[in-house]
């Protein structure tokens, strides 16, 4: 990230983050800090291939080493009741918590994340990402 872009980004982060930011201190790890959730759903090209699913799950597990991830949940569709509103067509999901927008940006640019995409992106045909900031 260029210096000027980064400065602007940090300013934005400070502006949109509630709670700890009010005090102007780097209290990034406080329990009450509003967290950012990053949830990604993957649809495999070969949804019936156990091998491809395992490769993807293995790749997802490498992400846990990225230092800005506060919690990582790797999942597959749960066998909850089938209802019209429930989408259980995906193959695997990755759910992460970050302290803030910057933590998520660090993750996006992280070499481990880039390596994961390089190694695994041939496996999936569709990805949907939801980023939600706690309110």
Binding to a second copy in span 44-83, by CB under 8 A: 57, 73-81, 83
Based on the shown chain and the rule CB under 8 A, indicate whether residue 135 belongs to the binding site for a second copy.
yes
Contact residue for a second copy among 90, 96, 99, 116 (CB under 8 A)? 90
Instruction: Find the shortest distance in angstroms from Cβ 34 to a second copy.
Output: 9
Strand 36-44 versus strand 92-98 pairing type: antiparallel
Based on the shown chain and the rule CB under 8 A, indicate whether residue 85 belongs to the binding site for a second copy.
yes
Based on the shown chain and the rule CB under 8 A, indicate whether residue 134 belongs to the binding site for a second copy.
yes
Q: What contacts 57, CB < 8 A, 6 or more positions away? A: 74, 92
Q: Which of 65, 67, 44, 66 is nearest to 55 (CA)?
A: 44
User: From CA 91, how far away is CA 68, in angstroms rounded?
Assistant: 25
- With beta carbons less than 8 A apart as the criterion, state whether 90 and 129 touch: no
Query: Which parts of this chain interact with a second copy (CB under 8 A)?
Result: 12, 16, 35-39, 41, 57, 73-81, 83, 85-88, 90, 92-93, 95, 97, 101, 104-105, 108, 127-135
């Amino acid at each position: 990230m260029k210096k000027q872009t980064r400065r602007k980004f940090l300013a934005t982060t400070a502006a949109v983050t509630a709670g700890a930011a009010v005090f102007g201190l780097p209290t990034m790890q406080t329990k009450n800090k509003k967290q950012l959730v990053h949830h990604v759903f993957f649809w495999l090209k070969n949804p019936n291939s156990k091998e491809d699913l395992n490769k993807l799950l293995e790749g997802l597990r490498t992400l846990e080493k990225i230092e800005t991830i506060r919690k990582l949940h790797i999942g597959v569709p749960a066998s909850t009741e089938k209802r019209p509103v429930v989408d259980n067509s995906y193959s695997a999901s990755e759910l992460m918590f970050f302290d803030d927008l910057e933590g998520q940006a660090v993750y996006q640019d992280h070499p481990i994340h880039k390596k994961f995409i390089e190694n695994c992106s041939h496996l999936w045909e569709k990805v949907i990402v939801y980023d939600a900031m706690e309110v």
